[in-house]
Copies of this chain bind each other. A is one copy, B any other.
Amino acid sequence: MKHPYYRPSALNQAKLIQYLEDINERRYFTNNGPLVGELKERLEAYLGVKNLLLVSSGTVALQVAYKALGVSGNIITTPLSFVATASAYKWLNKELCFSDIDLETLNLDPAHVTDVVALNANDLVVATHLYGNPCDIDSFKRLSLRFKNKTIYDASHAFATRYGGKCVLSEGDASVISFHATKLFHTIEGGGIVFASHEDYQRAEKMINFGFDHQGQVIEIGINAKMSEFHAAVGLTMLDDIESMIDQRCEMVEHYLTCLAPYDVEFPKRQEGTDRCSPSYMPLILNSVKERDCLHKMLFEEGIETRKYFEGLINNLAAYSNQPLCLPNAEVVENRLLCLPFYVDLDSADISYICERVVAALDEIRSKA
């Protein structure tokens, strides 16, 4: 494939070898080691957040955040996300309530949440910042002020997103992020949780180590969700270059938009109040499922791999819904989304070429329609 959908960047080998030698010298491989501590501190400083807990994956981060918040009522979430947002909770044998999205941003719409359930203090709203575009955080805040419900943001797309002058990870009772190798900032496998409350952070800290407190007594129900020193080392090497990586990717987004803007191609709308969207995806909203599928196929034949991200709605998966749902906005965009190649090996000539082929393919598809 000439232009794959994604290709991770190479890591800084020299730095990584040095970390590896240090780790081996210390023989301290995991269990909240010094590199995990260093990564936590540096990420907190870089992002301007407190109470960041590093864990072994984004999925387990969603579970730990939920358990640490201590809610046991309804979990209301979006039908339009990577399946992990929902599967993390289904794995815990919890049922989910799906609420409709905003048709412009494609994020969970706070105005629809109370249509689905009568919210109370034991309920949890799990919203996402789709493609790095923040959801309507201010309205979710008003919701939680009124109903006392808890809010978790799955910010896995939104490492570099800034909203209202600050890092979006500081929002909600907890913000959760994946540090998987496909993400802008990563630790190969890993994740993080930023808690609003230090008490919740401390509870979660025990939960990711089998529930042990500092005296070695089990006082919470816990699992092993610790980040290893090797994975933390990868994060440390990435963090050295993070600003230039973000700048480069912001330029890529600009270049894509400049090339495609003159044509009849739709994009998710940017949420008002956003200072910066995390530049990680280049999503298009096509006119129909058929148009999306044809474009995907035609580009593939020309050596351009795109991704049907997301294919379908989570509530329509057999295992995820126990009742028919009416989510008119989500159904409008269902199976009409397609993400174009996005990774730092793509130079501006590549992006211009991809856009040219997108436009040519759409012209051909639409002329036949």
Contacts and interface: CB of A to CB of B under 8 A. Distances in A.
Interface in A196-222: 210-211, 216, 218-222
Interface in A283-337: 311, 317-320
Nearest to A216: B311
Interface in A50-88: 56-60, 63, 67, 82-84, 87-88
Nearest to A13: B24
A29 interface: yes
Contacts of A27: 7-10
Interface stretch (A40-48, A223-231, A271-279, A346-354): A223-231
Interface in A1-56: 7-11, 13, 16-17, 20-21, 24-25, 27, 29-31, 56
Interface stretch (A90-98, A100-108, A252-260, A356-364): A90-98
Given A230-B231, A231-B230, A56 B210 contact: no
Given A57-B224, A87-B223, A221-B87, A29 B188 contact: yes
B222 A87 contact: yes
A234 to B, nearest CB: 8
A206 to B, nearest CB: 11
A355 to B, nearest CB: 25
A138 to B, nearest CB: 31
A317 B226 CA distance: 22
A189 interface: yes
B30 A20 contact: no
By secondary structure, the A interface counts as loop
A148 interface: no
A319 B211 contact: yes
A8 B31 CA distance: 12
Contact of A56 (B56, B82, B181): B56
A180 interface: yes
B90 A30 contact: no
Contact of A20 (B7, B13, B67, B229): B13
Q: Give the 9 A-B residue pairs with the shortest CB-CB distance, closest first.
A: A29-B181, A59-B223, A59-B224, A90-B221, A29-B188, A189-B228, A57-B224, A188-B228, A230-B230
13 contacts: A11-B24, A29-B181, A29-B188, A57-B223, A83-B211, A84-B223, A87-B218, A91-B223, A188-B229, A216-B311, A218-B319, A220-B319, A228-B231
Given A59-B210, A59-B224, A82-B210, 13 more contacts: A16-B20, A57-B225, A59-B223, A60-B224, A83-B218, A84-B210, A87-B218, A87-B222, A91-B92, A93-B93, A189-B228, A221-B320, A230-B230
